[in-house]
Structure 1
Amino acid sequence: MSKVTLRKKPISKGRHSLYLEIYPPIYNPVTGIMQRKQYLKLYVYNRPRNEIEKELNKETLATAEYIRAQRQIDLQSQKYDFVSESKMKSNFLDFFEEQAAKRKNCYNWTMSVRYFKSFFGPKIAFTELNESLCEEYADYLLSGPALGRSKIRIKKNTAVAYFGRFRLTLQAAYKKRYLPNDLGSIIENITPQETHRPFLFMEELERMGNAFCPNPIVKRAGLFSAMTGFRYSDIETLVWKEIHGCEGNYYILYSQEKTENAEYYPVSDETIKLLGKRGAPDSKVFEGLKYDQTVTSLKKWLSNAGIEKHFTFHGFRHTFATLQIAAGTDIYTVSKLLGHKDIKTTQIYAKIVDSLKKEASEKIKINVFNIGESIKSIQ
């Protein structure tokens, strides 16, 4: 039950300051903290010395009581936002698992929950969450062993992914009023480690297109990813009703599995041809696509194309980004097509292209023993 009580606080010159004591505390959007007291900037005399001071006290107290009653009504009608005590005492892990369940068995979400459980245990109240504990969890991910493998640590970028899901959950908890502070935005994410991003050159991609793949669905899905930059998760869940338009003006309307952002994506006629015969609206475009089959089929497919490099399905997305930038597509356009929230992520591909250009420029070498004589002879 919400309750607002009028209180007095002694100050100088024989006066009292009036304030409201609020239970449970309300959230102050300016300071970002829970507020139990609200000072009214109203004062009364502790011992009025004359009729004027007595009348002033009477009017001031009447004003303060009116404000108190109004605040009580506001709280009961939920006009003022506040975090209930029962919500704050509930189990954060239950909320975390609910958030993970919404992501359709997404591996990174599942593992993020498992690692937090291994760090803290099966139960932790929202009231126990603070910035220090969040930082300790980040350290745990970076230094702790992989689950079930005591001698192996998880990779730094894997820790980045797991901690990122944890931060998203904190932000969701704040929006739903389980937390008084936006911890998810306050704490910093783990800095990702820049990694090598394998991709196919255009000539290699053409060889893949002409090579035999044991699983035709994997081949169509891989080439589709190279043509669009779609992630495996988005390809696996793509349904026919998300593909719109006609020849010369095809586009896809879908929600990204990773970012949950609604996307409008224009595609070429050549890309649409990869999809084959159109199916029922709610049926999957790549029906029967399984990730474990993708791994084995891709290895044989690469071999048939005469390509010897470590390459996973996600490499097709890297291929799309690298070839687009190499072809002169604006980096902001590529970033938008990839669905990146931060252009810094896309700039990694620009660095790859720049390094390739530098490497190409150094391949032409002229052995001139006396450059001065050579220039003189030309003149």
Structure 2
Amino acid sequence: MELLYSNILPLRTTEQQRTIADCFRAQLMQADRADIAVGYVSRASLEEIDRLADELHVAHIVLTIGMYYIEGMPESAYRTAMHLNEKWMRSGVGEVRIVKSFKYHGKVYLFSKERAVAENHEVIPVSAIIGSANFGVIKPEAANLRQYETAVLVEEPQVLQDTKELIQNLSTRCSDNIANVTDMRLVRELNVSLTGVDTVSQIPQADLRYYENHVTAVRFPIPVKVPAYDERMMDDNRHYTKSNLNVCYAAPRSARKPRDWYETQFTVSTSVRCEPDGTPKYGYPQKNVPFVVITDDGYTFKCHTTSQNNKQFSAVGDELILGRWLKGRLVAAGLVTPVNNTSADHDRQGMITKEMLDEYGCNSLLLTKTDCQIHEDGNTLDVWLLSFKEGPEDEQE
């Protein structure tokens, strides 16, 4: 038995001590099979085990997660776990499971080898890590970077057999494959992409509910136009590769400076803003007249309509705000990673696709007028609610 440590000041590990993360990698490298049962995971740890399983050619791996069915699972971790489960199931490597019977808070990592016994192959446990460390220990992030954990490396045969039986019981009697768990609550994660933007603020939930109680019948759906994944390399505007959320992939304005990944451009279709005879629909925002929007997640900033026939909808003074609000939600959900240099993203992995929006469950903005106004610097500004929700498909313009 060996005691394992975290490596955090002022308790740095010595030359004779091993960290939990280092021991985990060492055991995984020597094992044919890993069975892991923990309370919590993180997106980063799921991405790390995916990388390690590929790198070390792990033959079989099962990850059982214990706390989320009752508490709710952060959406980025859920979507990453779903993708990992699909990959492992498709390749026959393993699966991701969710405990449903109770809150399982244990942290057990069991490593096994396949050995030939007569004409059969038997899975023999060879080591286990047991302690306080959830799965995030293999890839620390800001949230657990200063969280000290301890564990022990166990090699006693009876303890290993007991651990194997515990994990088997969790699998067969208490859990299900994550793809089959359709009633688990997802926890929306904080969109930090708007943090520090001077022209954006947040309001309390009570204030948001107040405005929601003052909506009128004046509302305008604005479909989000994006390509399907297989269309993302097309430069034909019919596939929307350079409109709405993906305008950042259009030609850069300067040879030295690529477009910012958060840049957006919402062109509102004629059918949304105009009557069949071409006259503006009642209540549609007037050109270049600012108004206040309050988003369904509690952010507030100013917007306006611009360009010919009021067809452009954008935030006032900063073309990145709408992108930070909407794309930031997809980032928080674990569906996409921001791209630092869009000109270098040759495979367009940062491009927003229909598949991403379908998985998130939203494909349209809804702009709804309230009967409220805000007085600011001698001006009276109308208040509108802006929601990101599921909506009808829009005709191409």
TM-score bin, normalised by smaller chain: under 0.3
Q: What TM-score results when the alignment is normalised by the length of structure 1?
A: 0.23
| Structure in which a larger fraction of residues adopt helix | 1
| Structure in which a larger fraction of residues adopt strand | 2
Q: What TM-score results when the alignment is normalised by the length of structure 2?
A: 0.22
